[in-house]
A and B are shown apart, each in its own frame.
Chain A
Amino acid sequence: MSDTHANSIAFVRDTELPPAPPPVAETGVIRWMRENLFSSVLNAVLTVLSLLVIFMVLRGMIPWFWNSTWNANSLSECREMGSGACFAVIRERWPQFFFGFYPNTEYWRPVLTFFLLFPAIAPVLFNRVPKQALLFSMLYPFIGYWLIWGGSLGGPVGTLLGVVAAYLVYRVLVQHSTVLALLAGVAVLIIWMLFLNDFVIGQLSNLFGPGLEQVDSRMIGGFLLTMILGIVSISLALPIGILLALGRQSDLLIIKAICIGFIEFIRGVPLITLLFVANVLLSYFLPPDTTFDLVLRVIILITMFASAYLAEVIRGGLAALPRGQYEAADSLGLDYWQAIRLIILPQALKISIPGIVNVFIGVYKDTTLVSIISMYDPLGVVQPILSDADWNGILWELYGFVALFFFISCYSMSQYSRYLENKLRTDHR
């Protein structure tokens, strides 16, 4: 049989054909381009136009960067040395961009504060860091304040003692009633600040000696000022915003009225107006010789502004939770604060992350408005540089440098929020 078969068929392939290469148009770069760049006529036209735009931008920018000058003492020298960017101005003035007019022998202090920031915020941002590290995070504001403003170590330590006292009172009373403990804690803190603080600080200053050289708020500027205003306002605004959002939903009439009034008032007023109040009007109302630090005033008002916006974002998160969640908490026998802490807030905050980060980034960038009230934030620093006869007329390099800084900061914030969203994503999308 097999013979017949063999004779009846002229040719039998005993090996498999090697696979033919796919058509050129279906492989590699060409396929990728065809699918992504030229999938339709419209797409092709858009691609060509985009390439043209990119080419034109690069044609301008590359020579600008390539021919840039780094070693010159004035704009006119720059112009003689190269046709491109004049980055010499950045080289000469970078300390002002970073520190404002901070005394230049003391630059190590803000730098150290900046690097200590990372261990301080790590336990807040990432839950893999051991929780004991939170202790350092709580001490960080006092360390940072002392490093940047200087003076005797007694000041921050005295205030820290007040906070510790308030916390101890809270701990003792919290077994009886959370609200009572909270109120008592705040009362202790206020009493400490009003009556005891000066005395204790005086005593401690004698003990610790003069400490670091004192730096006036007016000397602080540049990215340092942006970071101080941004980070302090953001970290204070979040808890205040949460409380406001909860207060707005409260059944207690007065608390509700206060929260709504605060939120609506602050949201109804432009930030610039608040800053002018901080800078100018407060000095009319305060007694002539009170020196209420300008940076502190601005921080308070930016915090109020940010917390009002955050409260509304978080209220959105609270409203998005199904009613069943609240009822489930009740049926477990949790009291209000337990329910909020364990069930409601974790879910509500997760929903609001994009909105919260949006507000954070907005506030961070809004800190540049302080240049209007003549504080030297990075944008404000540009003004005296332009007023230097050597550099008058230079713009792109300065504003580009500031933009780069803000892009790095804001992009990191948005990347972190994406990381957080991914980590907390529990649904099965």
Chain B
Amino acid sequence: MTKSVFFGALATAGLLAGAASAQTLAEVQERDTLRCGVTTGLVGFAAPNEEGEWEGFDVAICRAVAAAVLGDGSKVEFIPTTGSTRFTALASGEIDLLARNTTWTFSRDVDLEFEFAGVNYYDGQGFLVRKDLGVTSANELDGATVCIQTGTTTELNLADFFRANDMSYEPVPIETNAEAQQQYLANACDVYTTDASGLAATRASFENPGDHMLLPEIISKEPLGPLVRHGDNAWGDIARWTLNALIAAEELGVTSENLEEMAAGTDNPEINRLLGSEGNLGEMLGLSSDWAVNAISAGGNYGEIFEDNIGADTAIGLDRGLNAQWTNGGLLYSPPFR
């Protein structure tokens, strides 16, 4: 009896939460801030600086969405989440958008009932080794000791990779990236494996980065992207098309520098539709006509955001690689704005 009452209460709470979540846009506009879930700190992707201002690649997505909806990229409340609290925070309605280098997987999309707005970074699992180990390919790693973060998809990918190539390895389980760096530097393991972007950042922090190298093999697909709750398609569209607007802006050559000029109207109808001087795309989303202008002015187009936070000139120094525009051999391909 008591059990059924309890479950009844749970179901009601769930229904209420579900009903409430269908109006995220109205809630955000009424609150006048976007609640955006980010990591508690990941180099280049999201971290508060010494003034407490959040910076990073994922943070820029939050700001762009806030700018598109509210007209101001600073109207974001950043809610740090850990790997274990991120999904409950989103499902319970504590945050409106989760931009926390989260891999888009089938079960997260379908079973956990989230809606991925797209991919803002194509990552993949790589290997970091010392150069004096004399290894040049992941296929030569038979018998190596490997530092691996427990409870992540990387752990499973590693097992799959070694089994598929009929090799053995000895795992050194570790909890955090900081611990992994120490273990790896103390020679507790030959190889450190995690997402390639994380490895690049880790390598950049070493005293002698030149003594270490990333192996060329990438053994998994880790498409990272922002996500929202199932069931509020209007809000999902806003997140998806804000991301697409950033990508399309780079493709169309709209940058934060020429933005104002282009917003006044150009010869290219697609740019005009994107920036709102033609058509009524903003209205369709339930936003103002200059929504994309605001989104781009928050941190620039996709390419500018990339270069500012994780690009070749930063300490992390990532190449565009898969994250180049499709016209440059990458995977970024925004559907048309029409």
Contacts and interface: CB of A to CB of B under 8 A. Distances in A.
A182 interface: no
A374 interface: yes
B205 A279 contact: no
Interface residues of B, number: 46
Contacts of A75: 205
17 contacts: A96-B50, A284-B17, A288-B93, A289-B20, A372-B82, A374-B79, A383-B41, A384-B40, A384-B48, A386-B43, A386-B177, A387-B41, A387-B42, A389-B316, A392-B202, A392-B205, A393-B207
Contacts of A109: none
Contact of A389 (B14, B17, B80, B201): B201
Interface string A97-114: 000110010000000000
B88 A280 contact: yes
Nearest to B91: A284
A280 B47 CA distance: 22
A33 interface: no
B13 A285 contact: yes
A376 B46 CA distance: 15
A389 B178 contact: no
B49 A388 contact: yes
A51 to B, nearest CB: 27
Chain A interface SS verdict (over half): helix
A330 interface: no
Given A284-B13, A288-B20, A373-B82, A389 B44 contact: yes
Nearest to B77: A218
Interface in A353-391: 371-374, 376, 380, 382-390
A389 B202 contact: no
B219 interface: no
Interface in B162-219: 177-178, 181-182, 201-202, 204-207
Nearest to B181: A393
A136 B51 CA distance: 35
A251 B47 CA distance: 56
B90 to A, nearest CB: 11
Contacts of B29: none
Contacts of A373: 82, 85
Interface in B60-106: 77, 79-82, 84-85, 88-89, 92-94
Contact of A288 (B17, B42, B206): B17
Given A104-B51, A384-B47, A388-B47, A287 B205 contact: no
Contacts of A218: 77, 79
A77 interface: no
Contact of B315 (A216, A289, A385, A389): A389
Secondary structure at chain B's binding surface: helix, strand, loop or mixed?
A: mixed
B43 A283 contact: no
Contact of A96 (B13, B20, B52): B52
A387 B42 CA distance: 5
Given A280-B85, A383-B40, A389-B314, A79 B207 contact: yes
A392 B43 contact: yes
Given A92-B50, A218-B77, A284-B17, A384 B205 contact: no
A313 to B, nearest CB: 32
Nearest to A287: B16
A121 B20 CA distance: 46
A24 to B, nearest CB: 49
Contacts of B81: 374
A281 B89 CA distance: 9
Interface in B196-254: 201-202, 204-207
Q: Which 10 A-B pairs have the closest CB atoms?
A: A387-B41, A393-B205, A387-B47, A389-B315, A101-B52, A392-B205, A384-B41, A383-B41, A288-B20, A374-B80
Interface string A377-420: 00010111111111011010000000000000000000000000
Question: Which of B17, B42, B80, B204 counts the most A-chain CB atoms under 10 A from its CB?
Answer: B80
Contacts of B41: 383-387
B41 to A, nearest CB: 3
Contacts of A101: 48, 52
Contacts of A371: 40
A93 interface: yes
Contacts of B207: 79, 393
Contacts of B201: 389, 392
Contact of A386 (B13, B14, B178): B178
B20 A388 contact: no
B82 A388 contact: no
Contact of B85 (A284, A374, A380, A387): A374
Contacts of A281: 88
Contacts of B85: 276, 279-280, 373-374
B235 to A, nearest CB: 14
A374 B82 contact: yes
Nearest to B55: A388
A75 to B, nearest CB: 7
Interface in A117-168: none
Nearest to B206: A393
Interface string B256-283: 0000000000000000000000000000
Contacts of A372: 82, 84
A386 B10 CA distance: 39
A284 B48 CA distance: 28
Nearest to A283: B92
Given A280-B88, A288-B20, A393-B206, 5 more contacts: A93-B50, A383-B40, A384-B41, A389-B316, A393-B205
Nearest to B43: A387
Interface in A293-322: none
Contacts of B21: 288
B283 to A, nearest CB: 28
Contact of A284 (B42, B47, B92): B92
A96 B43 CA distance: 18
Contacts of B314: 389
Contacts of B42: 387
Nearest to A282: B92
Interface in A210-247: 216, 218-219
Contacts of B20: 288-289
A232 B29 CA distance: 36
Contacts of B39: 387
Nearest to B45: A387
A369 to B, nearest CB: 12
Contacts of A382: 178
A94 to B, nearest CB: 10
B195 to A, nearest CB: 14
